[in-house]
Amino acid sequence: MAQEHTNVETLFANNMKTTSLSTKQQSVLQASLTLFAQKGYENTSTADIAKLAHVSEGTVFKHFKTKDGLLQAILQPFIQDIFPKVAGEFLVSLTNNTFDDFSSFLRFVVHDRMTYAMDNRQEMKIFITEMVKNPTILKNLTSELGALLQNGVDSLFDVYKQRGQLVDWDAMRIIRIVSGVIVGYLIPNIIMSDKPLDVDQTTTEVCEFLLEGLQPR
Amino acid sequence: MAQEHTNVETLFANNMKTTSLSTKQQSVLQASLTLFAQKGYENTSTADIAKLAHVSEGTVFKHFKTKDGLLQAILQPFIQDIFPKVAGEFLVSLTNNTFDDFSSFLRFVVHDRMTYAMDNRQEMKIFITEMVKNPTILKNLTSELGALLQNGVDSLFDVYKQRGQLVDWDAMRIIRIVSGVIVGYLIPNIIMSDKPLDVDQTTTEVCEFLLEGLQPR
Amino acid sequence: MAQEHTNVETLFANNMKTTSLSTKQQSVLQASLTLFAQKGYENTSTADIAKLAHVSEGTVFKHFKTKDGLLQAILQPFIQDIFPKVAGEFLVSLTNNTFDDFSSFLRFVVHDRMTYAMDNRQEMKIFITEMVKNPTILKNLTSELGALLQNGVDSLFDVYKQRGQLVDWDAMRIIRIVSGVIVGYLIPNIIMSDKPLDVDQTTTEVCEFLLEGLQPR
Amino acid sequence: MAQEHTNVETLFANNMKTTSLSTKQQSVLQASLTLFAQKGYENTSTADIAKLAHVSEGTVFKHFKTKDGLLQAILQPFIQDIFPKVAGEFLVSLTNNTFDDFSSFLRFVVHDRMTYAMDNRQEMKIFITEMVKNPTILKNLTSELGALLQNGVDSLFDVYKQRGQLVDWDAMRIIRIVSGVIVGYLIPNIIMSDKPLDVDQTTTEVCEFLLEGLQPR
DNA sequence: TATGAATGAGCTTTCATTCAT
DNA sequence: CATGAATGAAAGCTCATTCAT
């Protein structure tokens, strides 16, 4: 089962071409991404960004207007475009691929999301930090993502529920548990970004446990 | 089964008396706690703290020397005293109370830790934010807490394993799963601190799932 | 005997052009020079400098980074460039001009150095103050200047010693005495900068005495 | 010829007893003396003084009112009491001791003043620094000391002038030259206070030169 | 008399942002 | 479009001085 996970960086590149960002502006965005992830938003000065992007201080503001505009330029595609798009893509690939049983389905889901998170560590770190600081983002995301998932996932789950491979719980409760366990495993790894994490092994470990709890007796 | 959970605020108050902090200094600490949790460390100015504490700017620095000193004064007892102490206390109360079965044991653990976290939301929020910014804290804490737990918990788990109520996995794996699920449930609640969370109901929900996965068939 | 003494202010101007300091930055430097000389380094605030230079507070730090950087920008050319350059120039003009006798030679030396000092009072005053505060400067300068002079002066003195116009003492001893007397005359005048000092008359007075002590009987 | 030079520290102690300074206040004064000499007046905080004196911050101000009061308490006896007193004492000891010739007289003077300066390095260093910063002190001192010396010294010099051992110059000119040479030798040693200076040898060296210039041919 | 917590004005420095070139 | 000098508000911090105990 070939799985083409979506890298945010690639989508970024596309986005940049779409909005026709000049080379300099692209390097400004890239520098911001690096520094925000490394030192945090508040501890990064626009002068730092200019230096790393090999660009004048004025150029930093030419396109993105303010420092916050720069942050939004990084976060917004995450929230408005990429996240839902990825989620949609994900759902599509989910519905297209017919899994033999819930076990295969779960393995795919866990492995895919973990790979996605590990591939976009930098952005994720900024995202998490900003979420902690500004919970509104989380709220919006939760509701937006929730609505998107609820519609698509319900029917997906029903298949396995009918086959007796999945416990008959509310779809959101199942999602919360699965994502909770995944998040519990991932967060330390995203934050302490030196450690690499073996996605395959972790997937096996996580699934073994989840299956126990999610399969009806 | 009476359960006296430990509130960090209470320990703070004791700490303050021990180090004999003046009334004004206590209100400085309290103001810092509030503002750091509300707006984050970097977005809180020492002038803000002084104003909220009804104190002059100089007073903020008289005792705590630097703004970072203020942060440390909030975090350090968390890391060096309270966390291990709480963990120790927790283990003692665990060994003293004899639980009828693993189910009761798990309910107690989950309920107790959730209550603790919800009672100390403010400090927790600051703690989480700083952990994201400075992962070294997380590393230290993980190893320190890990060592502490490994010693005491192994024997505790053995009882239930022998009775056939607990799956025969590595103790650390069990802990990681349990805390992972708890964290997964809690973090959104701590961050979006307006929402209250029904500890009793959440405990039931979490335990129901965990027991499925952790009890051998 | 034409004597072209070197004015530090002129060299400053050249330096400024070399490092292409903007007009505003030049006035910052000029204001610092004036105020440091007038009120001393510690008693001059960067706000004072900004006000006198008709410049914003930020501009003071844009180029010179710190207040100490400003001091160094004033002192460094003195130590690293101008002093040795002047000393070198001085030696060259000394060897080029053939003096009829030791008396003429001494008159030239005393007059030239006194004029130089009086022309650069402001810088000298800052220099002296900083030297008192930080003796390391003096040590470095002494050794650096000492090495420079020893080499060149020995041969110059030999001429007059052979003619029987100069006492056969160690060159450094002679220099220490001559400069000691000059310094003894000058320091009060540099410090109390309102008093003008008649260089010609003082030269006569100083030389009359020095000649008595330095000519063999 | 026994020579009892006057140590400022001794006079300080007497002064303290006279004005009945408490033990704590004495240590405050001593700490100020040490720190002002070491780091300069502006770079010494009253908290530093309190710490070194093992005294509370309030105590520093109890007697001396302001930080400047502390400086004056150190400098004033130098200017108003000790300097003139020492000068007077010096003149008395000069008139009491009958010297065989001008050479002996000069040796005594040079040796005595050099010893005095070296024995009171700390106070001298503060004195010099403050003089550079605030030239008024120098002006006052010069005139005060000038008047004092002129009266007493004229007659002293006359003796040697009549004997043909001293050139017939204005007394002030002779004093300026002698003190100029002494100062030229001493200042580097006072500022770079680690170097000890051999008073005896320096006296010989200085006198040898001065005698050449000051004895009539 | 001695203490030391409290004060608040003032200091140096940073930084997002603007604008003439 | 890009530049970088200039800006000025605001930050963290220091320190001489006061005053209730």
Residue A9: the pLDDT is 53
CA torsion sign for B59, B61, B62, B63 is positive
Dihedral Cα C168, C169, C175, C176, nearest 10 deg? -150
* Residue A82 clears pLDDT 90, i.e. is over it: no
Cα of first residue to Cα of last residue in chain D, in angstroms, is 29
Q: Is the CB of C63 under 7 A from strand F?
A: yes
Q: Which of B22-36, C1-15, C16-30 is most confident?
A: B22-36
Do A173 and B139 lie within an 8 Å CB cutoff? no
Give how far Cα A97 sits from Cα of A91, A158, B70, D35, Å: 10, 16, 54, 81
Q: Is the CB of A25 under 7 A from strand F?
A: yes
Are A6 and A116 spatial neighbours (Cβ–Cβ below 8 Å)? yes
Residue C202: the pLDDT is 87
C19-40 confidence digits (pLDDT tens): 567 888 999 999 999 999 999 9
What contacts A59, CB < 8 A, 6 or more positions away? Answer: A24, A25, A28, A50, A53
Label residue C6 by pLDDT band (50, 70, 90). very low
Of residues A101 and A92, the one with the higher pLDDT is A101
Residue B19: the pLDDT is 59
Q: Which of B212, B215, B217 to mutate to test the interface with A (most CBs of A within 10 A)?
A: B212
Alpha helical stretches, state H, C20-167: 23-39, 46-52, 57-64, 67-76, 83-96, 102-119, 121-133, 135-162
- Mean pLDDT for chain A? 80
Cα of first residue to Cα of last residue in chain B, in angstroms, is 29
- φ/ψ region of D197 (left if φ > 0, alpha if ψ in -120 to 50, else beta) reads left
Which residue, among A87, A96, A95, has the nearest Cα to A175 in the 3D structure? A87
Identity (one letter) of the amino acid at B133? K
| DSSP code of residue B79 | I
Are there at least 3 beta-carbon pairs closer than 8 Å between B and D? no
Please tell me the distance from the alpha carbon of residue A48 to that of residue A37, in angstroms, as a whole number.
Answer: 13
Residue D18: the pLDDT is 52
> Which H, E and C letters describe A89-117, residue by residue?
HHHHHHHHCCCCCHHHHHHHHHHHHHHHH
Please tell me the distance from the alpha carbon of residue A179 to that of residue A141, in angstroms, as a whole number.
Answer: 14
From first to last of its 217 residues, what are the pLDDT tens digits of chain D? 333 444 555 555 555 555 667 888 999 999 999 999 989 999 999 999 999 999 999 999 999 999 999 999 988 877 766 666 667 777 777 778 778 888 998 999 889 888 888 887 888 888 888 887 777 777 777 777 777 776 777 888 888 899 989 888 888 778 878 887 887 777 767 766 556 678 898 899 889 888 887 777 5
* DSSP-derived secondary structure for B16-51: HHHTT--HHHHHHHHHHHHHHHHH-STT--HHHHHH
Residue A3: the pLDDT is 37
Please tell me the distance from the alpha carbon of residue B213 to that of residue B211, in angstroms, as a whole number.
Answer: 5
Q: Measured between CB atoms, which of C125, C185, C193 is closest to D180?
A: C185
For the stretch D168-178, what's the b/e string if a residue is b when 16 or more beta carbons lie within 10 angstroms of its beta carbon? ebebeebbbbb
Q: Which of A131, A132, A190, A214 to mutate to test the interface with B (most CBs of B within 10 A)?
A: A132
* SS3 state at D4: coil
Interhelix angle D23-39/D8-18, nearest 10 degrees: 150
Which residue, among D20, D195, D65, has the nearest Cα to D118 in the 3D structure? D195
CA torsion sign for C140, C145, C151, C157 is negative
Are B21 and B13 spatial neighbours (Cβ–Cβ below 8 Å)? no
Identity (one letter) of the amino acid at B124? M
Q: Which of A5-19, A48-62, A162-176 is most confident?
A: A48-62
Are A87 and A59 spatial neighbours (Cβ–Cβ below 8 Å)? no
* SS3 state at C5: coil
| DSSP code of residue C101 | S
Are A110 and A206 spatial neighbours (Cβ–Cβ below 8 Å)? yes
Q: Is the CB of C23 under 7 A from strand F?
A: yes
Of residues B191 and C171, the one with the higher pLDDT is C171
Residue B83: the pLDDT is 66
Label residue C174 by pLDDT band (50, 70, 90). confident
Label residue A50 by pLDDT band (50, 70, 90). very high
B64-108 confidence digits (pLDDT tens): 999 999 999 998 877 766 666 667 777 777 778 778 889 998 999
Residues of A in contact with B181 (CB under 8 A): 177, 180-181, 184
CA distance B129 to chain A (A): 7
Task: Taking residues B44-49, report their average pLDDT.
Answer: 97
Which nucleotide does the CA of B70 lie closest to, via C1'? F12
Alpha helical stretches, state H, B97-170: 102-119, 121-133, 135-162
Of residues C110 and D136, the one with the higher pLDDT is C110
* Residue A15 clears pLDDT 60, i.e. is over it: no
In chain D the domains, ranked by start, together with CATH numbers, are: 8-214 (1.10.357.10)
| DSSP code of residue A181 | H
Return the residue matching tokens 């800052």.
C126
* Residue C214 clears pLDDT 80, i.e. is over it: no
Spacing of B22 CA from F20 C1' in Å: 14
Of residues D131 and B145, the one with the higher pLDDT is D131
Q: Measured between CB atoms, which of D180, D191, D217 is closest to C138?
A: D191
Residue C84: the pLDDT is 67
Which residue, among C29, C40, C34, C13, has the nearest Cα to C72 in the 3D structure? C29
Q: Is the CB of B58 under 7 A from strand F?
A: yes
Mean pLDDT is lowest, of A10-24, A29-43, A66-80, for A10-24
Residue D15: the pLDDT is 56
Identity (one letter) of the amino acid at B89? E
Burial category of B41 from C-beta neighbours within 10 Å (exposed 0-12, middle 13-18, buried 19 and up): buried
Are there at least 3 beta-carbon pairs closer than 8 Å between A and B? yes
Q: Measured between CB atoms, which of B139, B179, B184 is closest to A179?
A: B184
Find and give the residue nearest to F15, measured CA to C1': D45
Residue D29: the pLDDT is 94
Return the residue matching tokens 């008959």.
A168
Task: Taking residues C61-68, report their average pLDDT.
Answer: 94
H or E element that contains A202: helix A199-214
Residue C141: the pLDDT is 74
CA torsion sign for C176, C177, C179, C184 is positive
Identity (one letter) of the amino acid at D86? V
Alpha helical stretches, state H, D77-120: 83-96, 102-119
* Residue A135 clears pLDDT 80, i.e. is over it: no
* Residue C66 clears pLDDT 90, i.e. is over it: yes
- Mean pLDDT for chain B? 80
Task: Taking residues A170-199, report their average pLDDT.
Answer: 75
CA distance B153 to chain A (A): 20
Label residue C3 by pLDDT band (50, 70, 90). very low
